[in-house]
Structure 1
């Protein structure tokens, strides 16, 4: 499991005043419910009160939603949540690469941190193990949100011109 060496999860100091949008894909509802719940727990732990959750059809649409939301200029951090499960065609590779490249581009181009909470799994059990559900080994929704909040706090000290 890839969780070895991860930082401790908990509140992010200085995040209380941040404006955050969580973008969640709709495929794999059980896994997504766990990821969104983990994101909400991280927001609550860090006392973030100005947060909203928006839903997009799938993981492929996360990047365009993040780009539009970041361009609006009224958000300090974005958390992108999705899950792609490997099938028998190359579709998995295309969606994973598009989501990764698209979300990275949004973050670098706009300066708005994007927490990467996209699970790329070989099977359903791997996704369930990372979803933050009862019995899961990891809570990637919480971790992605914590990362976005921490980056936003750090970057607040380096305002854009």
Structure 2
């Protein structure tokens, strides 16, 4: 339904003032609609999806419900094992390795995978310890005369 407004306009100045106020109201409503539309469409962009769903906490919550990482690992781990480590093996060996790695893959979840990744990463990065200096400190300041 169209809302009708009744204006009590008596002269030309009141008419111009009413037109100016209606134009100002129109531009304010237009700006509000544009900003609301931009916010609405921004949530459906790739960046909006990444901000909402690709955080580590969201992945862990989603993984707890759907168990994505374990189902994915149950398919990927046998393939990786058979194509890398057991490449020249026979059919029976590859079948047994596939079944065993399938069972192991089902037990892995996101927390186990991140712990494994961190431990493998620590092997390659290593811990950098500071080397102790060979100078012996006798407590004598370097500026003293007895030094």
TM range (shorter): under 0.3
Greater Cα radius of gyration, structure 1 or 2: 2
What TM-score comes out, normalization by structure 2 length? 0.19
More strand as a share of residues: 1
Higher RCO (Cα < 8 Å, 6 or more apart): 1
More helix as a share of residues: 2
